[in-house]
Amino acid sequence: MSASGDRLSEILNNGLQLGSGRKAAISGTSEMPYRVLVERIEQGRTLLDQHGIVEGDQVVILSEKDTEVTSLYLTCLAHGAVAVILDPQASVSELLVLISHSDPAMIFADSEIVERTRSLTQTEEARVIQVGAEAASKRTGFGLLLRQKAQQAGTMYPGILAGCGRTDRQTTATGSGQALILFTSGTTSTPKGVSISRDALATQMELLQRRFSVNADSRIVNHLPFHHSDGLNQGPLLSFVSGAEVIRPEAVNMQSVGDMLDLVYQRKATHLITVPTVLSMIDRLSSDYDDSFSDDAFQFIESTAGPLEPGLWTRIEARFGTRVVNCYGLTETVCEAMYCGPSDDSHRIGTIGKPDGFEVRLVDEAGDDVAAEEVGELWLRGPGMFSGYFGNEAATAEVFEGDWFRTGDLATCDADGFYRIAGRRKNLIIRASTNIYPDDLKDVALTFPAVTDATVVGIPDEMLGERVEMVVTLDHTDAAKGRLDLFEHLRAGLAAEKMPNEVTVVESLPYGPSGKVELAKVREMISRQSTQGEGSTIDDKVIAEAAAAFRSSAASLSASSTEASVEGWDSLAFLEFVMRLERRFDFRMAPRDVMRIRSVGDAIGIVSGHVGDRNGPVS
């Protein structure tokens, strides 16, 4: 059977043929072989047909389950529907705004989310299918020995597919030209849904396959969330169209980042797609992990979605003996637009490399091209560019100058053609590679009755890239209570990944002559407050005691410092450390706690727990 669909259909059909039956299409947190994935896509298309979903209809996918999001996304693409992937951790109010703005014809949502957002099920226009496991029917006696009928249809996805025949045909979809909508901002005001065409998606997949040498032998570890393009498109989609395997680790944090490297090692991964914050965590791991990328099959680490600090970059490459490919891209460019590597001629530490698949201009405020080495706003143009913000023509018009997309990032270009990010013109904070628009947070803060004014700024941070600091004024003097109540309010209105690191209450915000808040002065206010409070946190005090006990400088110690990393940490010095903590915090550590301490962080945890128990301030 020959395919006559568009380019995306062609590469999807290619993937259907490349992935052999028993091979895993996705593994890690949950596994699904190609055989099952292909079956789900074919049955899923029938399901969409049954519900009257036609090419160009929006289908919302809202799930924490990797295998389900993967199969639903690929089903939508094969069917020609427009997939709208939302953050399953978004707050109820955010979800309602985003779903309403997406105008979906159908919604697939985790049953827990449907439960949490009851009003989802009351959406009349859209049909809602819950995602999750069917409640198991009770079986007793001989029933235990009998296998459940494989084709018994359920009401939830994917169980519901059992009742659907397979649409046994190659995809010939052309859709409305659109394939995917991903939201980059939006809480209470008009959201920005990046609308990506099928052609742009196909262009970027072909480019990534070529650039990263992804093929049927590839095993890609990608831990990024699916509501971000780097997680979704450089994860299951790139793998599927290449006949490769995408490996999904558990959520990555300082405690679990080692497990992810173990997965890279055990599965003989070929690529790791990650972000600078996670590289910073990897940098802090012990030498036990040095062999993580040692397998001959491993090609490189891709660092994306945020600036990569040159020192960290150099250390990772030297320590693990592998290349780190730093990429620059935005949701608006679907995936990447600039690549620093993997080839030698495009690799220069400290830069974002050279463009591939896009044309680049650096432009001054007057719209003219800047001279070499001068700073200008980065403009991009290419077939991989997004189509516009869904249902938001004003926002679309704001970022396009003809067919050039104004990124809002400032950059320079050297004589060899390497680009370097020099700053940011747009109002955006990038924390742990998550884009956070200050206005989103400000909007929610201002809906809190006691808040009279608010602003949000990014403060440089070694691990996170930037910290999100909110500064507010309140209409009463009980700042401490107001701050706590505001945190609760923010938690209810914002996705977890958007929550500020700190909220500071001030008397008034500094406004300039133009009537805008002067952000530089706000940063100074925050800096002054943090300097006044230096050494006042439990972490600082425990580290100071560790420094005294182990005869080292506080600057060289951190929560991750252990016997292996601190030269003066022997059994006697350790005992001194414990006794110093007991004196300083006026308590006697239980033997269980003393034996538990293997790092300074353990001691911080124990002291914090104790101080918390006492419910009193720390002197």
Q: Tell me which stretch binds another protein (CB under 8 A): 218-226, 259-267, 396-404, 465-473.
A: 259-267
- Least Cβ distance, residue 262 to another protein (angstroms): 5
- Least Cβ distance, residue 291 to another protein (angstroms): 9
- Least Cβ distance, residue 564 to another protein (angstroms): 12
Give whichever of 422 and 548 is closer to another protein, judged by the CB atom.
548
Site string for another protein, 143-182 (x = CB under 8 A): ----------------------------------------
Q: Tell me which stretch binds another protein (CB under 8 A): 14-22, 458-466, 534-542, 586-594.
A: 586-594
Residue 8 CA to residue 20 CA, distance in Å, equals 20
By CB under 8 A, residue 591 contacts another protein: yes
Q: Tell me which stretch binds another protein (CB under 8 A): 255-263, 272-280, 383-391, 398-406.
A: 255-263
Identity of residue 49: D
By CB under 8 A, residue 263 contacts another protein: yes
- Least Cβ distance, residue 457 to another protein (angstroms): 38
Give whichever of 534 and 613 is closer to another protein, judged by the CB atom.
613
- Least Cβ distance, residue 268 to another protein (angstroms): 7
Q: Tell me which stretch binds another protein (CB under 8 A): 351-359, 501-509, 542-550, 595-603.
A: 595-603
- Least Cβ distance, residue 574 to another protein (angstroms): 8
Q: 454: which 2 tokens?
A: 């608010």
By CB under 8 A, residue 268 contacts another protein: yes
298, 270 Cβ separation under 8 angstroms: yes
Closest of 269, 278, 266, 191 to residue 230, by C-alpha? 278
Compute CA 105 distance to the chain's CA centroid, rounded to the nearest angstrom. 27
Q: Tell me which stretch binds another protein (CB under 8 A): 88-96, 161-169, 497-505, 588-596.
A: 588-596
Helices (H), 327-437: 393-399
Query: Which one of 368, 596, 609, 614 is in contact with another protein (CB under 8 A)?
Result: 596
Give whichever of 22 and 516 is closer to another protein, judged by the CB atom.
22
Query: Which one of 595, 613, 615, 616 is in contact with another protein (CB under 8 A)?
Result: 595
By CB under 8 A, residue 287 contacts another protein: no
- Least Cβ distance, residue 595 to another protein (angstroms): 5
- Least Cβ distance, residue 598 to another protein (angstroms): 7
Burial level of 295, CB count in 10 A (0-12/13-18/19+)? middle
By CB under 8 A, residue 450 contacts another protein: no
Q: Tell me which stretch binds another protein (CB under 8 A): 12-20, 216-224, 256-264, 481-489.
A: 256-264
362, 379 Cβ separation under 8 angstroms: yes
Using CB under 8 A, count the residues that bind another protein.
Answer: 20
- Least Cβ distance, residue 572 to another protein (angstroms): 6
Give whichever of 153 and 575 is closer to another protein, judged by the CB atom.
575
Give whichever of 79 and 219 is closer to another protein, judged by the CB atom.
219
At a CB cut-off of 8 Å and minimum separation 6, what does 68 contact? 108, 131, 157, 158
- Least Cβ distance, residue 263 to another protein (angstroms): 8
Residue 259 CA to residue 243 CA, distance in Å, equals 25
By CB under 8 A, residue 217 contacts another protein: no
Q: Is 149 helix (H, G, I), strand (E, B) or coil?
A: coil
465, 277 Cβ separation under 8 angstroms: yes
Q: Tell me which stretch binds another protein (CB under 8 A): 162-170, 180-188, 385-393, 594-602.
A: 594-602
Burial level of 454, CB count in 10 A (0-12/13-18/19+)? buried
By CB under 8 A, residue 100 contacts another protein: no
Give whichever of 270 and 277 is closer to another protein, judged by the CB atom.
270
Query: Which one of 259, 524, 567, 586 is in contact with another protein (CB under 8 A)?
Result: 259
240, 19 Cβ separation under 8 angstroms: yes
- Least Cβ distance, residue 597 to another protein (angstroms): 9
Residue 194 CA to residue 414 CA, distance in Å, equals 31
Helix axes 538-550, 571-585, angle to 10 degrees: 140
Q: Is 222 helix (H, G, I), strand (E, B) or coil?
A: strand
442, 517 Cβ separation under 8 angstroms: no
Query: Which one of 139, 481, 598, 614 is in contact with another protein (CB under 8 A)?
Result: 598
- Least Cβ distance, residue 542 to another protein (angstroms): 18
581, 607 Cβ separation under 8 angstroms: yes
Distances 440 to 192, 455, 523, 607 between C-alpha atoms, Å = 11, 10, 19, 36
Give whichever of 344 and 613 is closer to another protein, judged by the CB atom.
613
Site string for another protein, 550-579 (x = CB under 8 A): ---------------------xx--x---x
Closest of 134, 126, 128 to residue 158, by C-alpha? 134
Binding to another protein (CB under 8 A) within 291-320 occurs at 295
Give whichever of 271 and 406 is closer to another protein, judged by the CB atom.
271
Give whichever of 220 and 269 is closer to another protein, judged by the CB atom.
269
Residue 503 CA to residue 471 CA, distance in Å, equals 6
Residue 193 CA to residue 227 CA, distance in Å, equals 11
Residue 294 CA to residue 271 CA, distance in Å, equals 12
Residue 265 CA to residue 278 CA, distance in Å, equals 17
Binding to another protein (CB under 8 A) within 320-379 occurs at none
294, 321 Cβ separation under 8 angstroms: yes
Find tokens 């269980």 and name the residue: 592
Find tokens 């006696």 and name the residue: 141
DSSP for 531-596 reads HHTTT-SHHHHHHHHHHHHHTS-GGG--TT-BTTT-TT--HHHHHHHHHHHHHHHT----HHHHHH
Binding to another protein (CB under 8 A) within 459-498 occurs at none
Residue 145 CA to residue 130 CA, distance in Å, equals 30
Residues that bind another protein (CB under 8 A): 258-259, 262-263, 265-268, 295, 571-572, 575, 579, 589, 591-592, 594-596, 598
